[in-house]
Amino acid sequence: MVLTRLEKITFTLLIVGILIGGGVILLKVRANHAHNLAVQEEIRAVQALTDRKPIGKEFDSAESGGDDHNKLNINQATLADLDMLPGMGKAFAQRILEYRQEKGEIKDLNELMSLKGMTKKKYSTLRRFLTAKGGRSGGLGAGLKLNLNFASLEEIEKLPGVGKTTAKAIVDVRNQRGGFHTLEDLQDVPGLTAAKLQKFVDLIEVK
């Protein structure tokens, strides 16, 4: 078949168009690939910062298989011991003691989920400080301390002499500083007097 001059020109333009279109698509693919690589690098950089294990965080969750030797043994704790724990409250502490007396022994902390007033949030907080096996027989004064660099607003508010206003001030200063380095840093917390700090200084740490 013999092509006319017009057909040859049309065919040539078609081939050129296909080549140009293919080149544009290839460039876009390469550009997208380069962008994806850049995004992945940024994600890895962020993960490198956020996935670090906090320094000095002593109380791992039950699921993580953390060491329980510093935790308070719920089967040996007194009402005062339990009441001192962040997020506990005297009424709920009394409920635990009544349940323990009824059962004879709490074999697993998961049993606490059956108690009236227990929520997943409360349980998540308490299990950081409690164990059903081993641990310590004393309260916070026997080794359990609240790390202010990881404590929630609600946990800090439960400390003796600390109300909602002071707890918020502590959290604000912690966020501004990127964490406390020593207990002396608490002197910069507005409204936190030496007398007020003395009431709970033995219950906290800032690792």
Pair 196, 171 in one domain: yes
Going by C-alpha positions, the residue among 2, 133, 7, 5 that lies closest to residue 69 is: 133
Instruction: Give the end-to-end CA distance of the chain in Å, rounded to a whole number.
Output: 86
Burial class (CB in 10 A: 0-12, 13-18, 19+), 59: buried
Domain presence at residue 154? yes
Q: What is the pLDDT of residue 188?
A: 93
Number of H helices, E strands in the chain: 7, 4
Q: What is the pLDDT of residue 34?
A: 64
Both tokens assigned to 93: 């502490």
Q: What is the pLDDT of residue 117?
A: 87
pLDDT in tens, the chain (207 residues): 556 777 767 778 778 778 786 666 766 657 666 666 665 565 555 444 444 333 333 333 333 344 566 688 888 888 877 877 777 888 888 899 899 888 888 889 999 999 888 888 888 888 888 888 876 655 444 456 788 887 888 888 888 888 899 999 999 999 898 889 999 999 999 999 999 998 888 888 887
The whole-angstrom separation of Cα 96 and Cα 75 is 10
CATH at residue 83: 1.10.150.310
Q: Phi and psi for 136 in degrees, rounded to 5?
A: -110, 155
Pair 203, 152 in one domain: yes
Residues 131, 76 contacting (CB under 8 angstroms): no
The count of structural domains within the chain is: 2
Pair 199, 149 in one domain: yes
Q: What is the pLDDT of residue 57?
A: 36
Pair 152, 127 in one domain: no
Helical (H) or strand (E) element with 123? helix 120-126
